[in-house]
Amino acid sequence: MPDLSAFEDVPGTTLFTAERSRVGYHLNQFCMSLMKAENRERFKADERAYLDQWPMTEAQKQAVLARDYNAAIAAGGNIYFLAKIFATDGKSFQDAAGSMTGMTPEDYAAMMVAGGRSIDGWRSKSERP
């Protein structure tokens, strides 16, 4: 078996491994359906009813409804697929990425302009409090 343990040691980071892809398949394929304008309209008209057409877990559906992208990733979502949801909402990658950090959009944008998040303290889970 390939040893992927190092991938689980990076704090605040979830890598899209085979296991997560298997668990998140229907969530991510739901996201893919939003590539079509007519599906975006149907989703926006009644999000819950649209989600109920997909064999997703309740936790996956709740993460989508709440736009909780950390929860969606924990449930097997991949950011490039989840991007179809925030594109439907008219939000940017910076809006979505910022929302996952707990920072306000203004603070997150200011951090990026100032050079981004420093790697210090973020290399390993052992460095986090």
Judged by the rule CB under 8 A, the positions of this chain that interact with another protein are: 2, 4, 6-7, 9-18, 21, 25, 28-29, 31-32, 34-35, 37, 40, 69-70, 73, 78-81, 83-84, 87-88, 90, 92-94, 96-98, 100-102, 108, 111-113, 115-117, 119, 122-124
Distance of closest approach, residue 126 Cβ to another protein, in angstroms = 12
Strand, coil or helix: what is 73? helix
Nearer to another protein, 62 or 70 (CB): 70
Q: Which residues, including other chains, have CB under 8 Å from residue 117's CB and lie 6 or more apart?
A: 111
Note whether 31 and 81 are within 8 A (CB). Answer: yes
Note whether 53 and 42 are within 8 A (CB). Answer: no
